[in-house]
């Protein structure tokens, strides 16, 4: 069964639902839990045309991602689970799959909210679908 679970966690409603499902699976299978929040690389650029780098902005964003991650770890701890989390920096799919490989995960859990319009789906793309294609292990997509 699943002994090492990575939760791709962003604090969104879909992410929180995935956290609850992840918690239930971990309870059932006595799994180790690892949370990953991915901060995009481009957080340090202010205005693409100006190319101004702001280290302060990067640190503020990292703190925001860390706070979200800490909240998820705390919620799991409140439910009696030990979990650890890590803020990753880069392209979401690459970082999650790399982290899952590093943690030797059996399962990746990710939340997903259906987008209403075709334009929104086209513009945003699907993290879940891409993750399924590139993951080194099974993927559970939690739909809200």
Question: What are the chain's domains?
Answer: 4-143 (3.40.50.620)
Instruction: Say yes or no to pLDDT of 36 above 90.
Output: yes
Question: Residues in the chain, how many?
Answer: 144
List all residues 6 or more positions away from 113 whose beta carbon is below 8 Å from its beta carbon: 12, 13, 14, 143, 144
Q: What's the mean pLDDT in 21-44?
A: 88
Nearest to 9 by CA among 102, 108, 139, 143: 108
| C-alpha to C-alpha distance for 22 and 115, rounded to whole angstroms | 23
pTM as predicted: 0.84
pLDDT in tens, 75-95: 999 999 999 999 999 999 999
């Amino acid at each position: 069964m699943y002994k090492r679970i990575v939760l791709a966690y962003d604090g969104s409603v879909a992410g929180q639902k995935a956290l609850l499902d992840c918690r239930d699976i971990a309870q059932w299978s006595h799994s180790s839990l690892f949370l990953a929040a991915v901060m995009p690389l481009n957080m340090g650029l202010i205005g693409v045309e100006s190319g101004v780098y702001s280290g302060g902005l990067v640190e503020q964003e990292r703190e925001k991602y860390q706070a979200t991650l800490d909240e998820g770890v705390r919620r799991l701890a409140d439910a009696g689970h030990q979990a650890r989390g890590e803020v990753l920096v880069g392209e979401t799919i690459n970082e999650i799959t790399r982290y899952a490989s590093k943690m030797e995960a059996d399962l990746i859990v990710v939340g997903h909210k259906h987008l209403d319009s075709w334009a929104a789906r086209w513009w945003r793309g699907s993290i879940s679908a891409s993750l399924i294609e590139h993951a080194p292990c099974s993927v559970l997509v939690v739909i809200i």
